[in-house]
Amino acid sequence: MELVEKMLSGNQLALARLITLLENRADDLPEIMRTVYPHTGNAYCLGVTGPPGAGKSTLVDELTSVMRQRGLTVGIVAVDPTSPFTGGALLGDRIRMQKHYLDDDVFIRSLATRGSYGGLSASAKCIVKALDAFGKDVIIVETVGVGQTELEIIEAVDTILVVMVPEAGDTIQTMKAGLMEIADIFAVNKADREGATQMAAELRAMLSGRQIPTYWEIPVIETEASNSIGIEELYAEIEHHREVLSETDQLSARRRKQREGELIEIVQRRIKEQIIARMKKEERFSSLVRKIADGEIDPYSASNEIFSDRALLQDCFQ
C-alpha cells in the first residue's frame, strides 16, 4: 500500500492517516498489518496504568522528557474514555502533554476505548505496531484509568508501570489481584501528599510476601511528576527492567506469548463478527434470538442447538 510505504519512509502525515485507518478498523486492515508486521520488533514498549487521578499523563510527559534527553524517539498511545456523541477520545492528551506538542520526535495519539473494558481499545495493539514500524525507539501506552480491570496492557507491552497515589493507601490491602499482579514497577505519584511514604512501605511489604519471579525484584519508586521529582530514578528502573528481561530471555518469551494471544484474539473477534453478521441475515438464528428474548428458551440451550446443527454452523462460516 502506498500509504504504508510513505509511513515506512518516515512520513509523519502518512503515519497519522494510517493510524486513523487502524483505529476505524478499515476493511483493508489485514493487508495493512501484513505490510507493517515485518518492520516491527525494534521498539521497546512501556505500559503505564493505574487508577484515575494518579497523574499518569503527567508522569508520561516527564518520562518522555528524560527519554528525549537521551536522544530517544518516542511514540505515545493514550487511551481515553469514549465520547458518547462522537465516538472519539473524550480527553485530548495533546493538551495534557504540552511539553512535547511541537517535538517532531514525539508522536502522541489519543484513542477512544470504544467499548473495551480492559483499558485498551481494540486497535491499540495495531497502532503500537505502526509506531514500531515507523521507527520509534520507545512506545508508551497509557491506559484509560478505570482501575483493576485494565489487564489487557500485559498483552501489548514489555514493561508495566503501575501508578498509585497516597489516597489509595486505605484500600491497598484489598488489591491482591488485577493491577497488583501485573506490575513490573510501582510508582507512588504525588508523593508530596500525606501518606505517600506509608503507602510505599505497604506496597513493599505486600511484595515481600508474594511469590514473584526470581529474576526481578519489583521496585516501588516515589515520584512527584508535577515537580519532576523521582523521574530519573523511575526511568533508571525501567531501563534496568529492560536489561534484566533481555539478559534472562524473558523479553523474547513475553513477546512470543503476546503474539500467540494476538492470534487467538483476532480469530475470536472475526468469528464473533461473522456470527453476528449471519445472525442478522439467517432466519434460524433470528428465530432463536426471538425465543431467547421472549423467554421461551435459555441462551445455553440455544447455543447447544446451534452447535448441534451442523448445517447451521456451515451457514455461519460460509
The string of pLDDT tens digits covering residues 262-274 is 899 888 888 888 7
Contacts of 85 (CB under 8 A, 6+ apart): none
Residue for cell digits 491506559?
143
Segment 221-237, tens digit of pLDDT: 999 999 999 999 999 99
Whether pLDDT at 315 is above 80:
no
Query: Domains in the chain, ordered, with CATH?
Result: 43-248 (3.40.50.300), 261-316 (no CATH)
pLDDT top residue among 136 and 198? 136
In the prediction, which pLDDT does 317 show? 62
Helix (H) or strand (E) segment spanning residue 46: strand 44-49
Residue 107: pLDDT band (50, 70, 90) is very high
Confidence label for 215 from pLDDT (cuts 50, 70 and 90): confident
The whole-number pLDDT of residue 35 equals 95
How do beta strands 106-112 and 74-80 pair? parallel
State pTM to two decimals.
0.85
The predicted structure's pLDDT at residue 241 = 97
